[in-house]
């Protein structure tokens, strides 16, 4: 077995010097997760500038017996993008591959490199009066390649779908260093099995995505945002069904928040002004948007008039300006930071069939309060997609060991309830290394067999992100 120094020297000899980073202080940001909970290290961090660079890096690592952890913006929340075997892994960061190769306004498509930061990409597309609808809290840092590799969701899924539905093609460096060019922009292409789907959501376990072709939409120049007070989560689900129908499927966001959201958000951002006077058991942040001849403001007003008359919504406010809309969204975004400020806590990213969501939240919160009476549950999220973050906050004065024990217990309790609802332990964030054991525990043997056969066929030497998603004991 070579020492790290020998491996680093071999990488420098095989690759252009400026691609290989080995200084441990410089490598730190690539080896620490977004929350700062886990810090690892690596033999090296490789920062290619082109697809050919990536291919050379893969060939060099393979020859040296090193495995590769691909990394985009490192905002993933499941430890898929940082190494867990520092003595035999390199991080391959796509951050220097951030060119926009083409934006085609007539075709409503673009071809972009994997390292484009999502918000910057959206801004460049907006300059052409087009729209890329993927939208998530991490968009100022995450990369489009990371979004595709995790099949990211976000706030606009109910209208535009998960990332998978926005991808037309991918360019991938395979584990043997060959380049798979699947960068088509065709919307209709039924020439056999759609291979790009293998790499979407694979979390870097089958290859390195170097570029993506994506679908674009007309820019939604009209947006109406409203915060609504309701009597219950059940009413929120009823409201969602009604909104989809009454708003001609122009709804682009529908976020559920409990009253605690406002407390948490103001703990993080103290000068946030309260948008609604009364207190309600449930809140919905809703957005409808469109372009062209449709009158979105009128649609929102008529819709809210109807649902308030029927008692489904008790109170509400429609943002009168972009600044007011931003203020409403700050409550949704600030509540995450507020939870972090209260210390380590249990975070989930769960989905259940929509019609069972309210029952699930009730049952799971009840089970947590029985098992852990001194902890607080907070459930919120993209409920229109059946996706809820049911998080559990231990008391702020818990010692690190006490908090860790409560977090473990809360996860076990919530997952037990979830299993009874046939739900998913990962609606959006993927499996990474954090959820591998929970995933494997619930994995159907036939699905495991297919996943193992795929890995065996594409990456038999286990070069790509070993330990992420699944362990494959039978593969060398
Ligand atoms: C504040 C906040 C809010 C978030 N909100 C949402 C949300 O609403 N919806 C949602 O789905 N997620 C959300 N996330 C999670 C995260 O932002 C997404 O998973 C995002 O898609 C990750 O992109 P990234 O570039 O940061 O990828 P990374 O974290 O760098 O990597 C994620 C995984 O993809 C692999 N990977 C990355 N790039 C490549 C590549 N080019 N080729 C092959 N494999 C690659 C990595 O190895 C890793 O397994 C949120 C995260 C934060 C911090």
Q: What is the mean pLDDT of residues 159-184?
A: 97
Atom of ligand 1 nearest to the CA of 162: 11
Q: 377-388 pLDDT, tens per residue?
A: 999 998 888 999
Q: How far does residue 146's CA lie from ligand 1's centre (Å)?
A: 5
Residue nearest to atom 21 of ligand 1 (CA): 147
Residue nearest to atom 46 of ligand 1 (CA): 81
Q: What is the mean pLDDT of residues 327-346?
A: 90
| pLDDT tier at 192, thresholds 50, 70, 90 | very high
Share in percent of the chain as helix, strand, coil (round to 5): 40, 20, 40
Q: How far does residue 238's CA lie from ligand 1's centre (Å)?
A: 31
d(CA 287, CA 10): 54
- Write down the residue that tokens 């103290």 correspond to: 270
Cβ atoms of residues 247 and 303 within 8 Å: yes
Q: 226-255 pLDDT, tens per residue?
A: 999 999 999 999 999 999 999 988 999 999
pLDDT > 70? residue 475: no
Pocket test for ligand 1, best of 29, 45, 68, 70 (most atoms within 8 A of CB): 70
Q: What is the mean pLDDT of residues 394-414?
A: 95
The token pair at 466 is 């070993």
Which residues share a beta bridge with 256?
284, 381
Q: What angle do CA 270, 272, 276 make, to 5 degrees?
A: 130
- Write down the residue that tokens 């509540």 correspond to: 335
pLDDT > 60? residue 476: no
Q: 119-148 pLDDT, tens per residue?
A: 999 999 999 999 999 999 899 999 999 999
d(CA 169, CA 393): 41
Atom of ligand 1 nearest to the CA of 155: 8
Q: 50-96 pLDDT, tens per residue?
A: 999 999 999 999 999 999 999 999 999 999 999 999 999 999 999 99
Q: Which domains occur in the chain, in start order?
A: 4-95 (3.30.43.10), 100-218 (3.30.465.10), 222-341 (3.30.70.2190), 350-419 (3.30.70.2740)
Cβ atoms of residues 319 and 328 within 8 Å: yes
| pLDDT tier at 275, thresholds 50, 70, 90 | confident
List residues near ligand 1 (CB under 6 A).
34, 69-77, 80-81, 94, 114, 136-138, 142-143, 145-147, 149-150, 152-154, 203-204, 208-209, 336, 428-429, 432, 465, 468
Q: How far does residue 439's CA lie from ligand 1's centre (Å)?
A: 18
93 φ, ψ (degrees, to nearest 5): -90, 135
**C-alpha radius of gyration, the chain, whole number:** 23
Residue nearest to atom 20 of ligand 1 (CA): 147
d(CA 201, CA 150): 4
Atom of ligand 1 nearest to the CA of 428: 11
- Report which of 22, 67, 103, 169 is spatially closest to residue 472, judged by C-alpha positions: 67
The token pair at 362 is 């009730």
Q: How far does residue 138's CA lie from ligand 1's centre (Å)?
A: 8
| pLDDT tier at 474, thresholds 50, 70, 90 | low
Cβ atoms of residues 259 and 227 within 8 Å: no
């Amino acid at each position: 077995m070579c020492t790290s120094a020998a491996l680093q020297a071999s990488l420098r000899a095989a690759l252009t010097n400026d691609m290989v980073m080995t200084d441990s202080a410089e490598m730190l940001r690539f080896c620490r997760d977004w929350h700062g909970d886990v810090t690892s290290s690596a033999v090296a961090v490789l920062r290619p500038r082109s697809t050919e660079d990536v291919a050379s890096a893969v060939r060099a690592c393979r020859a040296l017996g090193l495995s590769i952890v691909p990394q985009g913006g490192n905002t993933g929340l499941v430890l898929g993008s940082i190494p867990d075997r520092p003595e035999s892994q390199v991080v391959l960061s796509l951050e220097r591959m951030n060119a926009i190769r083409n934006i085609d306004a007539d075709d409503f498509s673009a071809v972009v490199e994997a390292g484009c930061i999502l918000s910057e990409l959206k801004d460049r597309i907006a300059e052409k009066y087009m729209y890329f609808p993927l939208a998530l809290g991490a968009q100022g840092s995450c990369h489009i390649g990371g979004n595709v590799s995790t099949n990211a969701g976000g706030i606009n899924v109910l209208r535009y779908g998960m990332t998978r539905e926005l991808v037309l093609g991918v360019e991938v460096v395979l584990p043997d260093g060959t380049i798979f060019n699947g960068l088509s922009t065709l919307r209709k292409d039924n020439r056999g099995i759609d291979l790009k789907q293998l790499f979407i959501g694979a979390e870097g376990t089958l290859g390195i995505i170097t570029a993506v072709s994506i679908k674009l939409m007309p820019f939604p120049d009209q947006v109406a945002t409203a915060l609504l007070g309701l009597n219950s989560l059940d009413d929120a689900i009823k409201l969602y069904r009604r909104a989809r129908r009454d708003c001609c499927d122009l709804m682009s966001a529908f976020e559920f928040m409990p009253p605690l959201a406002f407390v948490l958000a103001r703990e993080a951002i103290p000068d946030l002004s309260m948008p609604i006077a009364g207190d309600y058991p449930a809140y919905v942040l809703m957005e409808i948007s469109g372009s062209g001849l449709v009158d979105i403001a009128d649609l929102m007003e008529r819709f809210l008039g109807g649902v308030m008359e029927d008692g489904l919504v008790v109170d509400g406010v429609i943002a009168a300006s972009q600044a007011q809309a931003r203020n409403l969204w700050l409550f949704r975004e600030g509540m995450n930071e507020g939870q972090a400020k209260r210390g380590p806590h249990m975070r989930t990213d769960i989905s259940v069939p929509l019609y069972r969501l309210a029952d699930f939240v009730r049952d799971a919160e009840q089970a947590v309060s029985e098992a852990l009476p001194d902890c607080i549950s907070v459930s919120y999220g993209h409920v229109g997609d059946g996706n809820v973050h049911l998080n559990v906050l231990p008391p702020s004065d818990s010692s690190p060991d006490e908090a860790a024990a409560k977090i473990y217990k809360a996860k076990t309790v919530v997952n037990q309830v979830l299993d009874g609802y046939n739900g998913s332990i990962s609606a959006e964030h993927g499996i990474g290394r954090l959820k591998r054991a929970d995933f494997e525990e619930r994995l159907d043997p036939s699905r495991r067999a297919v996943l193992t056969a795929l890995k065996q066929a594409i990456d038999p030497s286990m070069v790509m992100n070993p330990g992420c998603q699944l362990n494959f004991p039978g593969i060398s």
